[in-house]
Structure formats: C-alpha cells, structure tokens
C-alpha cells in the first residue's frame, strides 16, 4: 500500500466540500489513515511551499493557505500516486466552479 498526503485547502473547507471530496476518495478505494482539521501557521506554509519562495505568487499563496482552516489527510491505496493524479485532476475541474 502506498500512502499519500492530501490537503483540502481553505476555499474547499469554506465551501463545505470536505465530506464530498473525502467520499470520492473512499469510493475510489482509498483507505483513510488519518485526518486533521487545522490552521496552518505561516512557518509551516513557508516550509511546505519552499520550492516557490522568491516567485511573485509566494506571498499571496501563504496568505491564502494561512487564511482559514484546511483538512490534512493521509490516504492509502495500492498505487496511490498514479491513482491520485487521475482523481485530483477530475476533482480540480469539479471544485473550480
């Protein structure tokens, strides 16, 4: 079983999409290993998005990610990485409305 980290960002939490998104993963066969509703500190956001430091969108990204609660979760599946890419591509189109 591969493990993967998934985060529902502040806008998804604010829009009430957490249960729907989680249900999609569970229906796809993922196992939920852990889930936490949390607020990200600036320090944690800086570490998580360190690869983007120095880019024009870095500060707005930090403000967005620290501006509300997120749902952090760990999921497991036989091929979590490859399956997750297909699932999140579909979810991005669904939740961008």
What secondary structure, in 3-state letters, does the chain show?
CEEEEEEECHHHHHCCCHHHHHHHHHHCCCEEEEEEEEECCHHHHHHHCHHHCCCCCHHHHHHHHCCCEEEEEEEEECCHHHHHHHHHHHHHHHHCC
Q: What is the CA radius of gyration of the chain?
A: 14
What's the pTM? 0.78
- Per-residue model confidence as pLDDT tens for the chain (97 residues): 889 899 999 999 999 999 999 999 999 899 999 999 999 999 999 999 999 999 999 999 999 999 999 999 999 987 755 555 555 554 554 555 5
């Amino acid at each position: 079983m591969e493990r993967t980290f998934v985060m529902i960002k502040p806008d998804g939490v604010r829009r009430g999409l957490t249960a729907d998104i989680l249900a999609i993963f569970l229906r796809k066969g993922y196992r939920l290993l852990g889930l936490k509703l949390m607020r990200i500190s600036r320090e944690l956001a800086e570490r998580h998005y360190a690869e983007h430091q120095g880019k024009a969108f870095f500060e707005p990204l930090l403000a967005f990610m620290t501006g509300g609660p997120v749902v952090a979760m760990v999921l497991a599946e036989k091929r979590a990485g490859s399956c997750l890419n297909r699932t999140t591509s579909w979810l991005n189109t669904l939740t961008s409305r």
